[in-house]
Structure 1
Amino acid sequence: MFAIAAAIVFGLALLFDLADVSSDAFDYATLVTVGLLFISLHLAGFGTATNWRSGWNNRRRTRR
């Protein structure tokens, strides 16, 4: 989920940079920083569909 949000934010950052659109709240650097935050959260495992109770170890224990 965070990877999709990061792709959208990076797309907006690219469009803003190409069109030279800038405002005080959302400029190119802010959007890139938010996109990198979303990518790091995605790589850390936040926003994934797996639950901490349904991990690999619990599935292995039930098959014994």
Structure 2
Amino acid sequence: MVAVIAAVLFALALVIDLAGISLGSVLTPTNLLTAGLLCVALHLAGIGTNRPNWRRSSWRARRR
């Protein structure tokens, strides 16, 4: 889910940069790229994934 948010942020930054739209000093393509990179880093760290926590379950529960 976090990777999808990153893709949307990258697309928004690209459109804003190519169109030359000025949305103020806070919402710039550089800020959107930084937020997208943060989302990618969180995704690679495993935040926002739907993986089960295998460390808490026993080996018998995994074999079933």
The percentage of counterpart residues that share the same residue type is: 44
Q: Which has the higher helix share?
A: 1
Instruction: Kindly report the root-mean-square deviation, in angstroms, between the aligned alpha carbons of the 2 structures.
Output: 2.1
Measure how far apart 1:50 and its partner are.
2.1
Cα-to-partner distance string for 1:28-61 (whole Å, 9 max, x where unaligned): 1100000000000000000011243xx2672633
Give the whole-Å Cα distance in 1 for the aligned partners of 2:37 and 2:10: 9
**Post-superposition, which runs of at least 4 consecutive aligned residues in structure 1 deviate over 2 A?**
56-64
Determine the structure 2 residue equivalent to 1:24: 25
Residue 45 in structure 1 maps to residue 46 in structure 2: yes
Residues in 2 aligned to 1:39 and 1:5: alpha-carbon distance in whole angstroms: 9
User: TM-score, normalising length from structure 1?
Assistant: 0.82
Deviations 1:1-52 (A, max 9, x none): 0000000000000000001112211101100000000000000000011243
Structure 1 alignment gaps of length 5 or more: none
Aligned length: 62
- TM-score normalized with structure 2 length: 0.82
Q: SS in structure 1 opposite 2:57?
A: helix
Cα 1:26–1:56 change in 2 (3 A) is: same
